[in-house]
């Protein structure tokens, strides 16, 4: 089954000139990533899941298809239909894929949620999305049960582990459900996935994507993974599938191309364990956040590691790191660029001769990327401005959930504004300069200060709060917070209390590493906190 969108070539101009989008009227991600393979080659390996004790479980496409059909029937029996939101509050594993495919089969919308989310982050996303059903595990069930009474539209909770009513047990639901194939017909533009992205002010925004956005990712995946698929390819990423990077930069594309996918939850990234997994499972294709790469650079590489391609994005990579990939791993590391709303539009591709250290690469075939000046006009090469992507584009989001005004602000005419500052050189290479807002980039995560600040000011001793990113050699940035306390508040011991509060209520990955007390926060004449001025404090 030929699925490539790109004709392999070492001539980038030839690739660009020969590329044409072919987005069908009807398209469904469950069909192309699971059902079609199951019908043709039901025994074909699809997923290798590695449990925490090192044991493994292998799934064929036929098994995934049967499980997805059963879960789709179970969802339908619980009232889930087209357009309903299905929350998936799980770490990497087969149940995540079953839930995604079951949702797609019904025309429902998958809502992936990061398992490190605390109750505030979880509550907001479930309430704002109006999720009808949620799937989680025993470890995360208590957080969900605590907030369930505040979620009027959440009708059902399923758990992958044994649980008491009113929670439904996943295995029991699937056992009594039919395995009969089920698949509603969806258009390519029908909603499929809702992923919340952090913003600089206010609440997080839910980026709603259509089924076609899988197709939009594929040209970049093909070029930065050395014209995927190749014989014996096998993919793995430590990035959680709740984020667009883990889900769409590798997991779904692997399944689309028939490339076996490895899943494994690493509670804390360990370089030696990562290399051991790569060697044991013969992983050849990796999406690795820059922080993971930096950590792996200092580990011993087993002799039986045979990596073919690596992609990395979210932070710029040093020339030393790129050289380590080539010299030690024997694999070119290709940088990629995008954001939740419009992912994988710029990429490097050593296989096609697109490689210039210090840059993110060139615009991927099928994507029109430009640099806009403050006057709303495209600037000449060499001048800095805001990175923008021309619409329509298959990878571009449909809209922000419940935020029409925010959606409108994201566009200038036919161009989506990324909020990132960059520059394009005369050869068409893009270089990332900085965020045009206050989003913090830490260990590959984009962190909006708003949720952190809301959590801090929720403490009775905190009157005002601001969070910024400060430089960090390993993570690019770490979160630093500034607070104004109520009169008479005792600071001793409060810093630890506040940091732990953010860890528990929002997520450990966004918690400040340090907090500074101030008499007042710097503000503009209109009262807006000037976070940039805090970065030097």
Query: Which token pair is 148?
Result: 């369930």
Residue 2 has pLDDT above 80, yes or no: no
Query: Which token pair is 438?
Result: 């206050």
Query: Which token pair is 192?
Result: 């499929």
Rounded to 5°, angle at Cα 271 from 266 and 272:
100
Element (H, E) at 345: strand 342-347
Strand ranges in 205-248 using DSSP code E only, listed in sequence order? 205-210, 235-236
Tell me the CB-side half-sphere exposure of residue 291, using CA atoms within 13 A. 19
Rounded to two decimals, what is the model's pTM? 0.89
Domains of the chain in start order, with CATH, are: 12-366 (3.40.50.12780), 440-534 (3.30.300.30)
Whole-number pLDDT of residue 203: 81
Element (H, E) at 61: helix 61-77
Contacts of 152 (CB under 8 A, 6+ apart): none
Check: CB of residue 181 under 8 Å from CB of residue 101. no
For helices 61-77 and 94-105, the axis angle rounded to 10 degrees is: 60
| Angstrom distance (rounded) from CA 347 to CA 364 | 6
Q: What are phi and psi of 422, to 5 degrees?
A: -155, 180
| Angstrom distance (rounded) from CA 249 to CA 287 | 7
Which tens digit of pLDDT belongs to each residue from 437-456?
A: 677 888 878 787 878 988 99
Which tens digit of pLDDT belongs to each residue from 92-114?
A: 999 999 999 999 999 999 999 99
Element (H, E) at 349: none
As beta bridge partners, residue 336 has: 313, 347
| Angstrom distance (rounded) from CA 396 to CA 207 | 10
Which tens digit of pLDDT belongs to each residue from 355-404?
A: 998 899 999 999 999 999 989 999 999 999 999 999 999 999 999 999 99
Whole-number pLDDT of residue 494: 97
Can you give the length of the chain in residues?
Answer: 537
């Amino acid at each position: 089954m030929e699925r490539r969108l790109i004709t392999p070539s070492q001539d980038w101009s030839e690739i660009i000139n020969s590329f044409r989008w072919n987005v069908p009227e009807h398209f469904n991600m469950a069909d192309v990533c699971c059902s079609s393979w199951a019908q043709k080659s039901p025994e074909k390996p699809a997923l290798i899941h590695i449990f925490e004790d090192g044991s493994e479980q292998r799934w064929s496409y036929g098994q995934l298809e049967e499980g997805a059909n059963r879960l789709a029937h179970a969802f339908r029996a619980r009232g889930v239909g087209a357009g309903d939101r299905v929350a998936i509050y799980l770490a990497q594993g087969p149940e995540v894929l079953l839930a995604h495919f079951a949702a797609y089969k019904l025309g429902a919308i998958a809502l992936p949620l990061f398992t490190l989310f605390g109750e505030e982050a979880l509550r907001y996303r479930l309430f704002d999305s109006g999720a009808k059903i949620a799937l989680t595990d025993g470890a995360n069930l208590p957080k969900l049960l605590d907030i369930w009474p505040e979620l009027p539209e959440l009708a059902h909770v399923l758990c992958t582990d044994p649980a008491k009513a009113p929670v439904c047990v996943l295995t029991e639901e699937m056992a009594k459900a039919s395995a009969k194939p089920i698949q509603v017909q969806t258009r390519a533009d029908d909603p499929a996935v809702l992923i919340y992205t952090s913003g600089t002010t206010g609440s997080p925004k839910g980026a709603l994507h259509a089924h076609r956005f899988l197709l939009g990712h594929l040209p970049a995946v093909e070029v930065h993974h050395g014209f995927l698929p190749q014989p014996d390819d096998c993919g793995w990423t430590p990035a959680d599938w709740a984020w667009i990077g883990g889900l769409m930069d590798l997991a779904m594309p692997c399944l689309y191309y028939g490339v076996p996918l490895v899943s494994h939850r690493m509670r804390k990234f360990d370089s030696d364990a990562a290399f051991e997994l790569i060697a044991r499972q013969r992983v050849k294709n990796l999406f690795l956040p820059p922080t993971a790469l930096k950590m792996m650079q200092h580990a011993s590489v087993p002799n039986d590691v045979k990596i073919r391609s690596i992609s990395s994005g979210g932070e710029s990579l040093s020339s030393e790191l790129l050289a380590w990939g080539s010299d030690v791993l024997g694999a070119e590391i290709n940088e990629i660029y995008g954001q939740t709303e419009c992912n994988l539009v710029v990429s490097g591709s050593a296989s096609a001769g697109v490689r210039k250290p210090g840059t993110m690469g060139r615009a991927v075939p099928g994507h029109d990327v430009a640099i806009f000046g403050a006057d709303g006009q495209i600037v000449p090469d060499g001048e800095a401005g805001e990175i923008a992507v021309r619409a329509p584009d298959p990878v571009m989001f449909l809209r922000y959930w419940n935020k029409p005004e925010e959606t409108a602000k994201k566009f200038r005419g036919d161009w989506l504004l990324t909020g990132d500052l960059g520059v394009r050189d005369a050869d068409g290479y893009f270089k990332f300069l900085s965020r045009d807002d206050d989003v913090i980039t830490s260990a590959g995560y984009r962190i909006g200060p708003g949720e952190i600040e809301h959590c801090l000011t929720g403490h009775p001793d905190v009157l005002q709060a601001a969070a910024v990113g400060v430089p960090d050699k390993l993570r690019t940035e770490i979160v630093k917070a500034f607070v104004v306390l109520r009169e008479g508040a005792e600071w001793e011991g409060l810093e630890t209390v506040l940091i732990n509060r953010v860890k528990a209520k929002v997520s450990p990955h966004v918690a400040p590493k340090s907090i500074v007390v101030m008499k007042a926060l710097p503000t503009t004449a209109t009262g807006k906190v000037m976070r940039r001025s805090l970065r030097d404090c």
